[in-house]
Amino acid sequence: MGMIPLKDSQVVPSQNSKDFAFQIVTRTRVFFLRAESEEEMRQWCSAIERSKSLSANDAALSSSTSSNSMTSSQVMLAGSEKKGWLNKKGKSNRIWRQRWFVLEDNLLSYYKTLQVHMRPLTPTHSLARSLSLTT
């Protein structure tokens, strides 16, 4: 599993319209991603930019709202989640590999398989969660 923090990142679509590739440029690394179609590439780029802007708006509003109330941007952010397959070029091994990507809360996570992302909570997490609900 890997994570791409989207705060202060830039999304740069490829100049070559035939490869459907785009880059996410972060402070520490450049991630090379490729979609199956031009439309899918546009959808991912838009969703990433929307997630970044909603997160920035949420940070600005958080100082003026109470901790128990949910801001409109938080509600919208929950709806901006995107999931799907993309190809990712490795950092050291420059081969395109298919990965399952999940965009949520200004973070783009990726997994080797869909099953890893869908794995249920471990017993330790379940126990800790049930204990926190009872207190």
pLDDT at 121 over 50: no
Token pair 């973070």 is found at 107
pTM for this prediction: 0.69
Strand 21-25, strand 10-13: pairing: antiparallel
pLDDT in tens, 41-95: 999 999 999 998 876 655 555 444 444 443 333 333 344 489 999 999 987 888 9
Tell me what pLDDT residue 94 has: 86
**What's the total number of domains in the chain?**
1
Higher pLDDT, 75 or 118: 118
Average pLDDT, the chain: 77
pLDDT at 125 over 60: no
Count the neighbouring beta carbons within 10 Å of the beta carbon of residue 25.
13
Q: What value does the mean pLDDT take over residues 13-41? A: 92
Structure token digits, residue 3: 């994570």
Give the structural domain span for 82: 2-134
In our burial notation (b when 16+ CB lie closer than 10 A, e otherwise), range 97-134 reads eebbbbbebbebbbbeeeeeeeeeeeeeeeeeeeeeee
pLDDT at 6 over 60: yes
pLDDT at 132 over 90: no
Tell me what pLDDT residue 92 has: 81
Token pair 């709806």 is found at 79
